[in-house]
Structures are given as structure tokens and as C-alpha cells.
Amino acid sequence: MAAGNISRRLFARARELMPGGVNSPVRAFRAVNQEPLFIARGEGARVADVDGRWFLDYVCSWGPLILGHAHPAVVEAVAAAAAAGTSYGAPCEREVELAELVRQAFPGMARLRMVNSGTEATMSAIRLARAFTGRDRVVKFEGCYHGHADGFLVRAGSGLLTGGVPTSPGVPAAVLQHTLVARYNDLDSVRTLFEACGEEIAAVIVEPVAGNMGLVLPAPGFLAGLREITRRHGALLVFDEVITGFRLCFGGYQHLAGVEPDLTCLGKIIGGGLPVGAYGGREEIMALVAPEGPVYQAGTLSGNPVAMAAGVATLRQLASGEVYQTLEALGARLEQGLRQALAERGSPATLNRLGSMFCCFFAPEPVADYAGALRADTAGYARFFAAMLERGVYLPPSQFEVCFISGRHTPADIDATVEAFAASLPARQG
């Protein structure tokens, strides 16, 4: 289903104003060889494009909308907050409320700082780790994406992988030299770096569940191994839980894995669809952050009352934990249906799922790391994406992203998705 006339006209105007006609590359639909849909509204599990066509939404704004679109509690909280003023540039009660909810869910974040995006959270956490350890180098993993701060744009995932440029131009060599890249799920590749220059490494930053090369789960022992290596070498372990924070439980994947990092980065869900990020950790580290300490980090709209209100309303809905039971049941129902469809069609595709996150790789073998993800047939995914869109199902416009189920999806929506999936799969080869 190509973009409708109104979308196309808007896109023509947008291309005159913004690079690629978008404000974030992956939403330009380039990897799926079509013009993007312009969305007019979201309601529950669905979005409508400006041409009035409704779709079941599995992008969910790339993760924030665990409650679905326009949840009444969130809309009401945002409206009330906005009516009291959209920004003060001063402390407000709601930022205290959101910080208390985050710390209730992440006890390891004894102190935390609100920022405006996941990028700001990870960028600040790395600056802090360098200050705390007095070291400059940082280990990241190929295929992981931690936002677009210079040092992270090295063999990164998400839009860089989608666009085929995993290392961005414009990053000075002086910065690149401090970024070391290991292989996800390969502890030996980390040990090798620490054996070579462990005394220079400030931190290892990792997505505890990788969501930016498609969905790749941590191998058993991988995260615990990172904890042991970093502790042994005096480096900090930073969990980038921007996607996984509050996605799989009322907390982080760190709680399900039983591995506590030194610093945690959050985003997406804690803003309920508005721009919010956060980073935090134990008091002795966070005490270095200005104005308490010398490590500078700031933001005009950090702790913004309207964004805080959206985050508080969202986390209050999640705190009982009931949503996670619903999401697991929906995820399991979807997985069962998709696996049956894959078996019946014999298609060269494999499925990874964890809770309400899933990804169908157009790859012949199960995908357990970056190399496996790179073997995916991105052209095949593009054809599949178009076929699903034609059947009213809106998936991420990239093989290297994750699909999200929201609390507003229903079993009937899941069954309809399975039906569309089965009809959209390429027939058995040969």
C-alpha cells in the first residue's frame, strides 16, 4: 500500500524543508523502498494516516507507547499539566514524582537525572563514567545503538545499519580512537580489549537486550560476564535500557537477568510518548554530576512539567504489573501463530520474541548476533513490509528494528496479524 495522495503531497513539502523529508532517518521508509506515511492520529493499537487509512501499529513510536496511543490517563495528565504552563525552567513537583517512580522500579538508580532523550542519557552517562574512572576509552558492541552522540556512531545499529552506514562521517578520529567495538554475545571479544588496554577503559555500554539490529537476545552468561570483566578491571558497566526500561517488567531487564550495572540509561516509556530520558546509578557516582559535582550536564527542558506528567501517568498505569501479564499473553499468542505460519509456509524467515518485543528476520538461520542479523535479506523484508501494510499492519520500516505490542492490542488484533503475516510470507523456495 503506497503512501496516499495527501501523504505524498506532505512529503514533497517536507523534502523541501528537512533532510530526507524527515526528522529522524529510519522513518523515511528508504529501507523499504517507498515514501513514508504521514500519520494523522493514533488511537489505542492503531494509527491513521493523513489519507484516512487505519493500521494496526507495531512501531508504537519505536517503543514509548506501551499503553498504546492516546491512553486516557496520559492525555488527561498532559492536558492538565499544559493548562498550568508548558515549562518553568525551575524545579516542579512532577519531576520529583517521576524520579520517585523510576527509583522505586530501579533501586540501583539511587540518584538520577532527567534529560530529554535517550541520546542525552547515554551521552551523559559516558561522560560521567569517564570522570569517575579518570579513563577515556569506552567499549560498545557492533549493532547496538545508543543514540547519536559522536562516540556511539561506530558500527552502530538502528538507522545507521538500516542506511548501510554503520559508522558516521563527521566524527573526529580523536573521538573514534576512544570507542572500542566488541561483538555482542562474545565475551572473548571483550576480554581481548581489556587485556590490551583495560586500564584505559572507563566503561562498557550495552543494550542488555539488543533492539537495534532487530531483536537479539543476550546469550546465557553474557551480561553476568560483562559484570565480572568490568568489575575486575575497574570499569563501569552501563546498561542502556532506553528500550527495555519498563518494557518487560516494572523495572529493567537488569532485574530479570539479575545483573546490576553501575549506571542505567532510560528513555522512551518513561516519557509516555513525550521527550524524556534519564540516567542514574549509585550515589558515589552521581555525586559527581553538576551542581553537586564538577561533571557538567544541563538542559532547558529537562524535567519539563508536561513531559513529566506523561511519564508519571504512564508509570502509574504500569506499576501494578498487570499490563505485563497481558503483554506476555499477547506476545505468546502472536509467537505461536507466527511460528505455525512460518512452518506451514516453509519461508526463509526466523522469529525472535521477548515479552512484547518481536522481530521477524528474513534469514535462513536463527539470529543470535550481529553477523546473523547481517545475513538477513533486507529486500525480502521490504517486500514483506509492503505486503503487511497492504493488509493493514504497520511494522517498522527496517529489518533492523523491533516490533512492539501495546496494552491496547487485543487477542483479535493478534489473530488478524497472524493471518496477514501468513498471507504476506513468500512461498517456500524450490
51 is catalytic: no
Q: Site mask, ligand KE4, residues 79-118, x = CB under 6 A?
A: --------------------------------------xx
- Residue of 7, 119, 304, 417 interacting with ligand KE4 (CB under 6 A): 119
Q: According to the binding rule CB under 6 A, does residue 413 interact with ligand KE4?
A: no
Cβ count within 10 A of residue 292 = 11
Q: According to the binding rule CB under 6 A, does residue 19 interact with ligand KE4?
A: no
Q: According to the binding rule CB under 6 A, does residue 186 interact with ligand KE4?
A: no
Cβ count within 10 A of residue 131 = 17
145 is catalytic: yes
- Residue of 12, 18, 19, 24 interacting with ligand KE4 (CB under 6 A): 24
Dihedral sign (CA 61, 324, 111, 144): negative
Q: According to the binding rule CB under 6 A, does residue 212 interact with ligand KE4?
A: yes
Distance, CA of 223 to CA of 13 (rounded, Å) = 46
Residue 116 C-beta: closest distance to ligand KE4, Å: 8
Which listed range, 20-28, 164-172, 316-324, 327-335, lies at the site for ligand KE4 (CB under 6 A)? 20-28
- Residue of 95, 142, 207, 262 interacting with ligand KE4 (CB under 6 A): 207
Q: According to the binding rule CB under 6 A, does residue 162 interact with ligand KE4?
A: no
Distance, CA of 225 to CA of 418 (rounded, Å) = 37
Of residues 60-79, those binding ligand KE4 (CB under 6 A):
62
Q: According to the binding rule CB under 6 A, does residue 18 interact with ligand KE4?
A: no
Residue whose grid cell is 509467537: 335
Q: According to the binding rule CB under 6 A, does residue 267 interact with ligand KE4?
A: yes
Kindly tell me which of 146 and 233 has the beta carbon lying closer to ligand KE4.
Answer: 146
Nearest residue (beta carbon) to ligand KE4: 118
Cβ count within 10 A of residue 374 = 17
Which listed range, 1-9, 238-246, 305-313, 315-323, lies at the site for ligand KE4 (CB under 6 A)? 238-246
Closest CA to 143 of 176, 172, 170, 183: 183
Kindly tell me which of 24 and 177 has the beta carbon lying closer to ligand KE4.
Answer: 24
The C-alpha cell that represents 292 in the structure block: 553537586
Q: According to the binding rule CB under 6 A, does residue 308 interact with ligand KE4?
A: no
Catalytic annotation, pick one of 49, 186, 240, 262 = 240
Catalytic annotation, pick one of 49, 58, 140, 145 = 145
240 is catalytic: yes
**Letter string b/e over residues 19-53, b meaning 16 or more CB atoms within 10 A of that residue's CB:** ebbbeebbbbbbbbebbbbbbeebebbbbbbbbeb
Whether the CB-CB separation of 376 and 363 falls below 8 Å is answered with yes
Residue whose grid cell is 515549562: 87
Tell me, by CB under 6 A, how many residues bind ligand KE4. Answer: 22
Q: According to the binding rule CB under 6 A, does residue 57 interact with ligand KE4?
A: no
Helix (H, G, I), strand (E, B) or coil at 170: coil
Dihedral sign (CA 12, 18, 23, 28): positive
Distance, CA of 411 to CA of 333 (rounded, Å) = 8
Q: According to the binding rule CB under 6 A, does residue 401 interact with ligand KE4?
A: yes
Residue 144 C-beta: closest distance to ligand KE4, Å: 7
Of residues 120-149, those binding ligand KE4 (CB under 6 A):
122, 145-147
Whether the CB-CB separation of 257 and 206 falls below 8 Å is answered with no
Distance, CA of 20 to CA of 23 (rounded, Å) = 8
Closest CA to 97 of 315, 318, 322, 320: 315
Of residues 326-355, those binding ligand KE4 (CB under 6 A):
none
Closest CA to 270 of 138, 421, 383, 114: 114
Q: According to the binding rule CB under 6 A, does residue 398 interact with ligand KE4?
A: no
Q: Regarding beta strands 263-266 and 236-240, do their DSSP bridges make them parallel or antiparallel, or are they unpaired?
A: parallel
End-to-end CA separation in angstroms for the chain: 28
Q: Which residues bind ligand KE4 (CB under 6 A)?
A: 24, 26-27, 62, 117-119, 122, 145-147, 158-159, 207, 211-212, 240, 242-243, 267, 277, 401
What residues are annotated to the active site?
145, 240, 268
